[in-house]
């Protein structure tokens, strides 16, 4: 049998992360205000019926060298003020066209670092949204947090605003690793943050983010980090593989000078941390998410009810059409994507000039809608199973077959490499094959062509 290290050499070509289908670098169609409004009106008739909102806060007190997000060094208060006012204008203008009979199910603040700005800004944005829509029972109000900036007063204000899902970007507990990537550790011990939140809201969800593949990490040190995490019992935990794309983010070049771990060590970090998490009652979701069994993502995963968008895994209960506001944010509707301007001052100017800040869009063809269902099903349920997908999504099986690429000879190669277990009409991703799930998705995707410097490597 082929050794895992040889598999990396074999499958070491760049593949999309498939957080959307098609991937965001395909969003290249131009649009005007009439198109934008038309897309929003069209979304009112699309499934799923709820309203999800994403708001991007691009500011950070300090930039971490590994970061692949749209993040900018902190600006003066008047720029932040102008930025938030622009987001408010954008929300007011866009929501005018959203069907008010639909319910708000999810608000997600991402970044950048949403907790780098005064919480009164977050308060005004949440209040504005809640004043515009009725909500489902227990809507998810989520925020990505850099723990190094958190104080108890700030956590209190988040709880008061109504946040109930807190995602802590820990990345690593090892001080040397954090120093290597220009990141501060938390002032309040992470365990105290978790206890504080849980004491105030018993059904809050706390998530931890980690990254493996950073300079200074070893298999042993990363396992120690995960062991510490497990002892603090977050409801959810993510181990991201470090995505090295220095042609998109020049800061990442600095990490090369510090020495990035070898791919084979990254694999061992992935494998050993997963083994440890499973031993400690965490249930795997997709490639790199883990949840306790009391978490609603666990129930959704066993009921084939998981969904995935740019904000990560979610359930079909909370997912809706995603209306995104702020710089670089992407609205995700059933039939279209719309991307906002990436530069902060250009964003503010566009909102002042025309009331919106879209730059590019993508209109999905009927065929792409089917491919997206297949790839989402694969990423959520680790299987290609047209019969089950047909039943779950009411798509005739024949239509699924007509729109995907299914080359038995290539799938046999994945099978021989112990990546999938298959029969003539369906297959499952094997444990050993998880790290290559994006390569398998690309094989099913008839529109995928190999091109380096477009995507990160699988590991």
Contact pick of 112, 213, 286, 458 for ligand SF4 (by CB under 6 A): 112
When CB distances to ligand SAM are compared, the closest residue is: 169
CB contact at 8 A, 164 and 205: yes
Helix (H, G, I), strand (E, B) or coil at 4: helix
Binding mask 196-215 for ligand SAM (x = CB under 6 A): -------------x-x----
CA distance linking residue 323 with residue 97, whole number of Å: 11
Phi and psi at residue 324, to the nearest 5°: -110, 140
Contact pick of 51, 60, 219, 287 for ligand SF4 (by CB under 6 A): 60
Contact pick of 20, 71, 95, 350 for ligand SF4 (by CB under 6 A): 71
**Between 56 and 317, whose beta carbon lies closer to ligand SAM?**
56
| Close Cβ partners of 158 (under 8 Å, ≥ 6 residues apart) | 115, 119, 122, 143, 166
Dihedral of CA atoms 201, 102, 109, 363 in degrees, nearest 10, equals 150
Contact pick of 40, 53, 67, 107 for ligand SAM (by CB under 6 A): 67
- Using CB under 6 A as the binding rule, whether residue 88 contacts ligand SF4 is answered as no
CB contact at 8 A, 281 and 234: no
Contact pick of 15, 64, 287, 382 for ligand SF4 (by CB under 6 A): 64
User: Which of ligand SF4, ligand SAM, none sits in contact with 63, Cβ below 5 to 8 A by type?
Assistant: ligand SF4
Contact pick of 4, 37, 69, 346 for ligand SF4 (by CB under 6 A): 69
User: Which of ligand SF4, ligand SAM, none sits in contact with 110, Cβ below 5 to 8 A by type?
Assistant: ligand SAM
Q: Minimum distance between the CB of residue 161 and ligand SAM, rounded to whole angstroms?
A: 18
| Nearest CA-CA partner of 163 in 171, 173, 155 | 155
H/E element, 280 = none
Burial class of 397 by CB neighbour count within 10 A (0 to 12, 13 to 18, 19+): middle
Binding site for ligand SAM (CB under 6 A): 60, 66-69, 110-113, 144, 146, 169, 171, 209, 211, 240, 242-243
Binding site for ligand SF4 (CB under 6 A): 60, 63-64, 67, 69, 71, 111-113, 146, 169
């Amino acid at each position: 049998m082929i050794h895992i290290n040889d598999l990396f050499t074999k499958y070491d070509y760049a593949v999309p992360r498939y957080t959307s289908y098609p991937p965001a670098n395909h969003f290249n169609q131009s649009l005007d205000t009439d198109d934008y409004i038309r897309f929003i009106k069209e979304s009112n008739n699309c499934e799923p019926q709820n309203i999800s909102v994403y708001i991007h806060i691009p500011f950070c007190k300090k930039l971490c060298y590994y970061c692949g997000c749209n993040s900018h060094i902190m600006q003066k208060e008047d720029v932040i003020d102008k930025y938030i006012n622009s987001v408010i204008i954008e929300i007011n203008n866009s929501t005018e066209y959203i069907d008010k009979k639909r319910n708000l199910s999810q608000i997600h603040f991402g970044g950048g670092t949403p907790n780098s700005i005064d919480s009164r800004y977050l308060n005004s944005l949440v209040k504005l949204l809640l004043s515009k829509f009725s909500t489902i029972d227990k809507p998810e109000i989520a925020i990505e947090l850099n723990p190094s900036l958190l104080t108890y007063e700030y956590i209190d204000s988040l709880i008061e605003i109504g946040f109930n899902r807190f995602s802590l970007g820990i990345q690593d507990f090892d001080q040397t690793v954090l120093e290597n990537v220009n990141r501060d550790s938390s002032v309040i011990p992470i365990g105290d943050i978790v206890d504080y939140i849980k004491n105030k809201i018993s059904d809050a969800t706390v998530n931890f983010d980690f990254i493996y593949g950073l300079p200074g990490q070893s298999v042993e040190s990363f396992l120690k980090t995960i062991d510490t995490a497990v002892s603090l019992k977050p409801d959810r935990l993510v181990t991201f593989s470090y995505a090295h794309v220095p042609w998109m983010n020049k800061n990442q070049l600095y990490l090369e000078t510090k020495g990035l771990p070898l791919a084979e060590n990254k694999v061992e970090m992935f494998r050993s941390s997963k083994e440890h998490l499973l031993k400690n009652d965490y249930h795997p979701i997709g490639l790199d998410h883990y949840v306790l069994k009391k978490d609603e993502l666990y129930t959704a995963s066993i009921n084939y009810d998981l969904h995935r968008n740019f904000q990560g895994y979610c359930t079909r209960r909370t997912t809706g059409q995603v209306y995104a506001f702020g710089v670089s944010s992407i609205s995700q509707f059933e039939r279209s994507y719309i991307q906002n301007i990436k530069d902060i001052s250009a964003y503010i100017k566009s909102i002042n000039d025309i009331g919106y800040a879209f730059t590019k869009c993508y209109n999905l063809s009927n065929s792409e809608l089917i491919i997206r269902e297949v790839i989402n099903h694969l990423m959520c349920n680790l299987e290609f199973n047209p019969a089950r997908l047909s039943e779950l999504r009411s798509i005739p099986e024949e239509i699924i077959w007509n729109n995907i690429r299914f080359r038995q000879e290539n799938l046999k190669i994945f099978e021989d490499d112990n990546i999938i277990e298959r029969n003539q009409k369906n297959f499952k991703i094997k444990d050993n094959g998880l790290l290559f799930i994006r390569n398998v998705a690309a094989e099913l995707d008839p529109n995928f062509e190999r091109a380096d410097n477009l995507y990160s490597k699988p590991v």
